[in-house]
Structure 1
Amino acid sequence: MTGSFRLGSLLLAGSSVGLAFGAGALGPGTPAGAALGVGALGMIAAGVAGRLRGGAPTADPATRFLERALAADSLDAIAREFRMAVRAQVGASTAVLIAPAPDGQIVALGASDARVVDGESAAFDWLADQRQPVNRADLAARGDASGPAAVRALLDELGGDVVLPLVHRGVLLGLGVIGGARVAPEDADVFYRAMRATTTAAIANTYLDAEARGGSRLARTFDLATAMQESLMPDDRVVRRPTFELRGLFVPVAECGGDLWSWRELGRGRLLLVIADATGHGAAPALLAAVAKGAIDAHWQLMGADLDPGRLLAALNRAIYRAGRTRYMMTAFAAVLDKAAGEVRYANAAQNFPFFIAGDEAKVEVLVARGNTLGAAPEAAYETHRRPMAMGDKLVLYTDGLVDAASPDKGPFGERRLRAAIQAMAHERATRIPELLMAEIDRYTGGNALDDDVTVCAAEFGPTDEGGRA
């Protein structure tokens, strides 16, 4: 049969998408390094192995997956290495990747030969809405609904017990199917979640390699790149939780760009906030942002409430270096707002210094922290700084498109005007600041088109009532 993968509200046949894991989707000679250059697995594999065994990270076949994949000569060979790694890590007898082939058929890669999967589109539609690994117990709890039933049939056909949906908010890029593992699904959950995030990011990196072979090929990835970037960004609605509230806005200048912002609840009253900006414009930076998002999510899954901003940026640096190969790099700022400790911990990789608004006095400060651009070198260290943060304090993050926004007769908006604008709105709720800043930029530029993507997000520390005020 011919399967379809859902892209937003559309259904795109695999042949029109040309995804990286399809058999020869970018041509039979596609370098293996294209698919696994992401480096997210290299970043997390040792930590995953250690956590599964409850001990210190050690080297084993699973942690060597990256170097083996880089030595492979085709995407099919990479899929076979994926199978070997999962077998070694959890003792699985089945470990395959499923993706659309150029002819539109859904194929399973990683067995001795790629074979067509006789699945139902209901399975793929249902899995497009899942964000975490799904096992047979999860499916049984869903009863006889058409989607879960179709997924069970797919697992039966492949001998699988767990499926990893490779999804970016409604964009189903592929599946990983694992079966016959010696480790119970709940005990391998950290490994499966990290593999899901890593493999999804690996798909994006393949498009970066396509860019190196020519813009005409890359032009056909714009629809997917745009959809992926939209899926990376949280929506622009206000987020309110017992210990914080936040909002972010993203304004692209073209079909897609390299800006990224993300937030995660870490547990124990802690919030992770990340903003990043890849160099350049177009599909390649957008897909590099997808690589970064996958690496962030993998690190978050592994570290949880123990996540440290400096170590997160060091892990991101490795992922971006392997993905961008110094052709593409990224700046980033990461912060953890910690209610129990009454502080914000943060680290910076050449990103614009954020603004901190202190309490009732609404004093505007700059959080100064420096670090190397992500992807400039294979290894880099980033210092984690600390600042006390009390109820009502606010943090404002932004990308350089905000200060570079230019008026025809007055030049760029600049840091000084930005600080003055933030000072003028310092008594506003954090959730109002992004839209107020964008309105200020629009007035300054006279409504003219921007030259760079703009992302701005703000978070306020403290409990919120029903009206959302701290």
Structure 2
Amino acid sequence: MADPLYKIMVVDDEPDLEPLVKMRMRREIRSEMYTFVFAHNGIEALELLESEGDVDLVLSDINMPQMDGLTLLEQIGEEESDLRAVIISAYGDMKNIRTAMNRGAFDFIIKPIDFDDFRVTITRALSHLAKWREALESRDKLVTLQNELEVANTIQQSILPTRFPKTDEYQIDASMEPARAVGGDFYYVELLDDSRVALAIADVSDKGVPAALFMMLTRTLLKGALRDNARPGQVLENVNDLLHEDNDTAMFVTLFLAIFDPKLGTLVYANGGHNPPLHVYGDGSSDVLPMTGGIALGVAPGFSYAVHTVDLAPGDSAVLYTDGVTEAINGDDEEYGMERLHDVFRETPGADARQGNGAVFNSVKTFTGETPQFDDITCLILHRNPVP
């Protein structure tokens, strides 16, 4: 019988977790996708890592006797580079989670465990590990920095959603095209427990690898803050305070966060210094969403972010974008500007999310022609479906 494709270690002092994982993951275990080994604290985990020798992924609780998860992460970072670690937290403790990320954790899972999210997180972590191993195997063949950045681009793109919620009530589409091999823009989409959906778009102040790293940290903190609190203003306040801690590089990120309720058709949002999105009406006309006065995240702690609510009627869209769209330059040194963005939807009234997103990118590329792209271009569109 062939060996399982991946070996996963679960480290947790709760005795009920082992049989629960074996039961909920029995299909993957039987098909030999994964094999699981279990430890009850960090010391047992390190002993198993030494004896097993081929563990690919460690899923570890933070609070455990003898050796906690944060100490285990530190030990793994010193001893093992060819595996990935994911933290399991029962408390939604963002400071501990942030410490874990700084010590090398790839992602985190909140207790009680949602096994759909559990599977997605495992898949993403192992995909990242596979790409890392591929990069290691081919590093002797890499002769330029650009080759390495292309690998980084693949990893970065893997965290951006490519499949979006689509219901009878609404649809979403988004895309990001970095100016360099890696970029500082990102978008985020998450279904919340009460059928609402969270949407975010962001732009880091720098470019290249530093911006990409800051972007990944921001995304991680945003994901955690949304699990604790689905109020946009409070989420931005929490992420801002955490980003400001130990921010020696003085980087910052503009971030727009909205929560859409498909039952009410309301879009509740807070804006951290980002470009104001468009409210596009069913007839193709559009307005800029009212500003809320928020500053970019990471600049100063303790800032409050005001919240605003708009109604999206059936057939309306919310168009989120970064300044790579409106500040794109053509060969005559002209900026694309807001008026051309409004024109996109005047020319395609009633466009759904995918059509609208494609129309924005086509319009920008037609405008810039052969002029090199100097900034990341990102667009996310939420479209409320017309009433049949």
Residue in structure 1 matched with residue 329 of structure 2 by the alignment = 406
Q: Is the 8 A contact 2:315 2:350 kept in 1?
A: no
> What runs of 5+ residues in structure 1 fail to find an aligned partner?
1-119, 128-133, 161-171, 182-187, 207-217, 465-469
**In the superposition, relative to structure 1, how do residues 153 and 255 fare at CA in structure 2: closer, same or farther (>3 Å)?**
same
**In the superposition, relative to structure 1, how do residues 320 and 156 fare at CA in structure 2: closer, same or farther (>3 Å)?**
closer
Tell me how far apart the structure 2 counterparts of residues 379 and 157 of structure 1 sit (CA, whole Å): 36
Residue in structure 2 matched with residue 140 of structure 1 by the alignment = 22
Q: State the shift of 1:347 in Å.
A: 1.0
Q: For residue 208 of structure 2, what is the amino acid of its counterpart?
A: G
Secondary structure of 1:441's counterpart equals: helix
Q: State the shift of 1:324 in Å.
A: 3.2
Tell me how far apart the structure 1 counterparts of residues 105 and 22 of structure 2 sit (CA, whole Å): 35
Q: Mean alpha-carbon deviation: is it higher for 237-246 or for 410-419?
A: 237-246
**In the superposition, relative to structure 1, how do residues 264 and 200 fare at CA in structure 2: closer, same or farther (>3 Å)?**
farther
Q: Is the 8 A contact 2:146 2:181 kept in 1?
A: no
Residue in structure 2 matched with residue 439 of structure 1 by the alignment = 362
Secondary structure of 2:191's counterpart equals: strand
**In the superposition, relative to structure 1, how do residues 361 and 350 fare at CA in structure 2: closer, same or farther (>3 Å)?**
same
Q: Is the 8 A contact 1:393 1:460 kept in 2?
A: yes
Residue in structure 1 matched with residue 379 of structure 2 by the alignment = 456
Q: Is the 8 A contact 1:431 1:459 kept in 2?
A: no
Say yes or no: does 1:334 pair with 2:219.
no
Q: State the shift of 1:338 in Å.
A: 1.2
Q: Mapping of 1:44-123 within 5 angstroms?
A: 122-123=6-7
Name the Cα RMSD after superposition: 3.5
Residue in structure 1 matched with residue 160 of structure 2 by the alignment = 233
Question: Structure 1 residue aligned with 2:285, among 345, 355, 363?
Answer: 363
> What runs of 5+ residues in structure 2 fail to find an aligned partner?
11-15, 46-55, 66-87, 107-144
Deviation string, structure 1 residues 278-332 (Cα, Å, up to 9, x no partner): 01111111111111111111112223xxx11111111121122125336211101
Secondary structure of 1:382's counterpart equals: coil
Q: Mapping of 1:1-400 within 5 angstroms?
A: 122-124=6-8, 135-141=17-23, 142-143=25-26, 145=30, 146=32, 148-149=34-35, 151-153=36-38, 158-159=43-44, 175-177=59-61, 190-191=90-91, 198=98, 201-203=101-103, 222=149, 225-235=152-162, 237=163, 239-303=165-229, 307-322=230-245, 324-325=247-248, 327-358=250-281, 360-369=282-291, 370-400=293-323
Q: Is the 8 A contact 2:92 2:228 kept in 1?
A: no
**In the superposition, relative to structure 1, how do residues 159 and 328 fare at CA in structure 2: closer, same or farther (>3 Å)?**
same
**In the superposition, relative to structure 1, how do residues 242 and 323 fare at CA in structure 2: closer, same or farther (>3 Å)?**
farther
Tell me how far apart the structure 1 counterparts of residues 385 and 103 of structure 2 sit (CA, whole Å): 39
Q: Is the 8 A contact 1:313 1:349 kept in 2?
A: yes
Tell me how far apart the structure 1 counterparts of residues 21 and 105 of structure 2 sit (CA, whole Å): 31
Tell me how far apart the structure 2 counterparts of residues 287 and 204 of structure 1 sit (CA, whole Å): 13
Tell me how far apart the structure 2 counterparts of residues 399 and 426 of structure 1 sit (CA, whole Å): 22
Q: For residue 413 of structure 1, what is the amino acid of its counterpart?
A: Y
How many matched pairs?
Answer: 305
Tell me how far apart the structure 1 counterparts of residues 386 and 91 of structure 2 sit (CA, whole Å): 34
Tell me how far apart the structure 2 counterparts of residues 154 and 458 of structure 1 sit (CA, whole Å): 45
Residue in structure 1 matched with residue 135 of structure 2 by the alignment = none
TM-score of the superposed pair, with normalisation by structure 1: 0.57
Q: For residue 167 of structure 2, what is the amino acid of its counterpart?
A: R
Q: Is the 8 A contact 1:309 1:347 kept in 2?
A: yes
Deviation string, structure 1 residues 259-281 (Cα, Å, up to 9, x no partner): 01001111323111000000111
Deviation string, structure 1 residues 22-44 (Cα, Å, up to 9, x no partner): xxxxxxxxxxxxxxxxxxxxxxx
Tell me how far apart the structure 2 counterparts of residues 423 and 319 of structure 1 sit (CA, whole Å): 41
Secondary structure of 2:303's counterpart equals: coil
Q: Is the 8 A contact 2:164 2:171 kept in 1?
A: yes
Q: Is the 8 A contact 1:173 1:200 kept in 2?
A: no
Tell me how far apart the structure 1 counterparts of residues 199 and 339 of structure 2 sit (CA, whole Å): 24
**In the superposition, relative to structure 1, how do residues 219 and 154 fare at CA in structure 2: closer, same or farther (>3 Å)?**
farther
Tell me how far apart the structure 2 counterparts of residues 313 and 419 of structure 1 sit (CA, whole Å): 28
Tell me how far apart the structure 1 counterparts of residues 344 and 63 of structure 2 sit (CA, whole Å): 56
Residue in structure 1 matched with residue 118 of structure 2 by the alignment = none
Tell me how far apart the structure 2 counterparts of residues 173 and 136 of structure 1 sit (CA, whole Å): 16
Q: State the shift of 1:392 in Å.
A: 2.2
Tell me how far apart the structure 2 counterparts of residues 457 and 230 of structure 1 sit (CA, whole Å): 15
Secondary structure of 1:324's counterpart equals: coil
Q: For residue 140 of structure 1, what is the amino acid of its counterpart?
A: K
Q: Is the 8 A contact 1:333 1:351 kept in 2?
A: yes
Tell me how far apart the structure 2 counterparts of residues 203 and 279 of structure 1 sit (CA, whole Å): 24
Residue in structure 1 matched with residue 340 of structure 2 by the alignment = 417
